[in-house]
Structure 1
């Protein structure tokens, strides 16, 4: 499954339908997580969403899709919560599911389908929208293409897989004349995770000191890309690159190489990034490193923002060095961040921030078995940016990467050069040096 941008998404031409679902605020308070609060602090804005798109073969009525989607919303608590802005600050409340209706979104003369879809999602999937998620369908003679999107405050990439899996399961149940999720246990809501995380012990002194060491090395801000990105006084239009790094056979060889070194494929990749960074920037690899917080299996089927940020720092380009850096990053991200980052007044973001995300879909306990046949793709939103974000996606079709950076001449040259060297290093690891 690839991670792409809505501008690069291959969509068929057809009627663009959106499902308007009413949610009514009950007033019942729900706790807001550290990362949710940080995300919504920027208010309603275009591009704060993430989505998943897939195609269905054959005939599927809008009524079937609608009822399946309502079943998914009723199943997952975070999809039934709404943010509001008050004089005391942002609040999050439970909501009741009301009526819904399909609305056609006209595609203008000369307008790309992608642009029409982006306009819908930018308008519907904002932090304070009620609801802040949207189901869209492109109707074609070959079957519908479904796009499910939500403001990032309520979902992460793992959650999008859960939503797609549950939507498909609900549709199968309806075709079989059964009630969706009948007898299935209700997954816990994300709010329960927020409460559980807040009750975890404070980070030990060793973790706080290591956070402090890494941030101090970075100028008391989160790690930044080590090469010049050009104009950074304000966010720039993004440049997005999607690269196929390793095919299926090469991934097998890469995994074999990692196993021979008694490390993970991620550790081998971190070692390669460390070599590239030292070669091109004469600096250690230091980056923001998102890690998931689904610490117990009970959260595997839940929907929410179960991602928290850590930092990774590596100056040892060996596989063992990469493995050690990964272990440390996971440990540093296992404590409540609001407490850890309190000395900096929260997450100290600065222009040029560098983040690396790794998602091995083969190892997730949640799968969409027909992802290839469905042509499923993660979809990101175009934004203005002043930093570098790198995603690795590893699945049955190979290793892919997506990189977003400011579209300046310096960033094109320097980030592009860094990516070129990295892809070459990874291919050398797979094919043997």
Structure 2
């Protein structure tokens, strides 16, 4: 999966096709409230459009009937895609549509004469369609060409996370080719069963609060006490004072190739950590080397698909956990410290963030964005064996920014990183220097001696699949 942003995604020109979703029945008010993530997202939804999209290639012209049937099966298969949000009496309520009442209508195609026009048409369509209020909150489309076409769809963040993008690629690929090759015999029932994110939200709403004496909650509170009850911020200057924002810049680059990633993974294992722990260690060392201090506090997203109904479900199945990474005397020492710290942090992810904030009496927010580092190992997700063949992309919007955020992805080709930060002269210079220094640390780790043995208690943690 190529993780990128819409300003870096330049599809070839073609006929841009889209489908509208209509209902012959009226939606019902749901008893299920928005999840915590959805509530936070919806509260700021008027500021800008935050969406995630995916694209993959197929041979030949688009079979429009097959793709229409595939999209219909996708939105009826996943509960969150036949739900929506609306405002009612100063409340945000969820509306649910009976999937049997939904029908797809193909819109007139738009021909893009060059790649730049194609990008702009796609970008404008995603911004217009992927809004959380109203139904649907997504764009269903394709770029039709003679030799090779592209299936592309985008969703407001309220309904999807990074993991969902892989599920959607897998589902759509199977559905489209099933309906294309066997239009009379193929059934969407042949796909693996999937739970509904709306049901997950109902379970979340019924969760019992964790005891105030739980050591995990106490650890959360200590973390925020040390941050003066503020979410952690990127420790290097980005040229944006608190309370101000700037246009977002995006940097998309490879970190390590396939063989170097394997060597780095072996280095992390020898030192009792995971690749994610190694990346966090490299970032902490880079920050220290650039004058940002020895400690790097941050939040990281991790998925919550821990039981079978949710493993193949589309939705925003993530929570957050806190970690404080301490730069030690070189990569090996830092990674040895980070491994146990990351394992402890993952345990804290079992505490609902809403309860942490309530126990704190609220957070002191000076910035809209929260400094975080996400990690996804796409080799473990649905469609892992297909994504390279399909040239699959995970595409995010660009909006505004007042802090730095990083998405690290591992594929069969190695490690890559997407960075989001304020587009200021200081921000550009800082992030360039930071990413260059991260690479210096990674190269030093790869070149480290291989005779270090891991103490028996230093077993590496599983890498958490994170948010988009």
Under TM normalisation by the shorter chain, which class is it? over 0.9
Match of 1:424 in 2: 440
Structure 2: how far apart are the matches of 1:363 and 1:32?
A: 29
The answer (yes or no) to whether the contact 1:27–1:94 under 8 Å persists in 2 is yes
| Cα gap change, 1:345 to 1:146, in 2 (>3 Å) | farther
Match of 1:159 in 2: 164
SS at match of 2:277: helix
Structure 2: how far apart are the matches of 1:393 and 1:216?
A: 31
Q: How does 1:22-41 map to 2 (within 5 A)?
A: 22-23=22-23, 24-41=26-43
Match of 1:103 in 2: 107
Deviation at 1:319, TM superposition (A): 1.8
Deviation at 1:196, TM superposition (A): 2.5
SS at match of 1:226: coil
Match of 1:75 in 2: 77
Structure 2: how far apart are the matches of 1:112 and 1:310?
A: 41
Deviation at 1:295, TM superposition (A): 1.9
The answer (yes or no) to whether the contact 2:276–2:375 under 8 Å persists in 1 is yes
Deviation at 1:170, TM superposition (A): 1.0
Match of 1:362 in 2: 379
Deviation at 1:316, TM superposition (A): 5.0
| Cα gap change, 1:198 to 1:335, in 2 (>3 Å) | farther
| Partner of residue 209 from structure 1, selected from 211, 218, 225 | 218
Match of 2:459 in 1: none
Q: How does 1:199-348 map to 2 (within 5 A)?
A: 199-204=206-211, 205=213, 206-232=215-241, 233-280=243-290, 281-315=292-326, 317=328, 318-344=334-360, 348=364
TM-score, scaled relative to structure 1:
0.94
The answer (yes or no) to whether the contact 1:45–1:126 under 8 Å persists in 2 is no
Match of 1:176 in 2: 182
Structure 2: how far apart are the matches of 1:45 and 1:54?
A: 30
Structure 2: how far apart are the matches of 1:36 and 1:47?
A: 14
Count of aligned positions: 432
SS at match of 2:97: strand
- Where does structure 2 lack aligned partners over 5 or more consecutive residues? 329-333, 450-468
| Cα gap change, 1:267 to 1:279, in 2 (>3 Å) | same
Deviation at 1:262, TM superposition (A): 3.2
Match of 1:116 in 2: 121
SS at match of 2:121: helix
| Partner of residue 85 from structure 1, selected from 78, 84, 87 | 87
Bigger Cα displacement from structure 2, 275-284 vs 30-39: 275-284
Bigger Cα displacement from structure 2, 332-341 vs 309-318: 309-318
Structure 1: how far apart are the matches of 2:22 and 2:448?
A: 56
Bigger Cα displacement from structure 2, 32-41 vs 280-289: 280-289
Bigger Cα displacement from structure 2, 42-51 vs 405-414: 42-51
Deviation at 1:225, TM superposition (A): 0.6
Deviation at 1:409, TM superposition (A): 1.6
- When the two chains are superposed, the root-mean-square deviation of aligned CA atoms in Å is 2.1
The answer on 1:137 being equivalent to 2:142 is yes
Structure 2: how far apart are the matches of 1:354 and 1:262?
A: 26
Cα deviation digits, residues 222-250 of structure 1 (max 9, x gap): 11010112133322111111111111111
Bigger Cα displacement from structure 2, 396-405 vs 35-44: 35-44
Match of 2:331 in 1: none
Structure 1: how far apart are the matches of 2:400 and 2:17?
A: 28
Bigger Cα displacement from structure 2, 57-66 vs 347-356: 347-356
Deviation at 1:192, TM superposition (A): 1.8
- Where does structure 1 lack aligned partners over 5 or more consecutive residues? none
Deviation at 1:427, TM superposition (A): 2.4
The answer (yes or no) to whether the contact 2:297–2:324 under 8 Å persists in 1 is yes
| Cα gap change, 1:18 to 1:215, in 2 (>3 Å) | same
Structure 2: how far apart are the matches of 1:406 and 1:296?
A: 38
TM-score, scaled relative to structure 2:
0.87
Cα deviation digits, residues 65-111 of structure 1 (max 9, x gap): 11011011111101011100111410012113422212246467886
The answer on 1:187 being equivalent to 2:194 is yes
Match of 2:12 in 1: 12
| Cα gap change, 1:410 to 1:203, in 2 (>3 Å) | farther
The answer on 1:197 being equivalent to 2:201 is no
Cα deviation digits, residues 148-203 of structure 1 (max 9, x gap): 11000000010111111111111222112433332555411112222323444433
Deviation at 1:418, TM superposition (A): 1.5
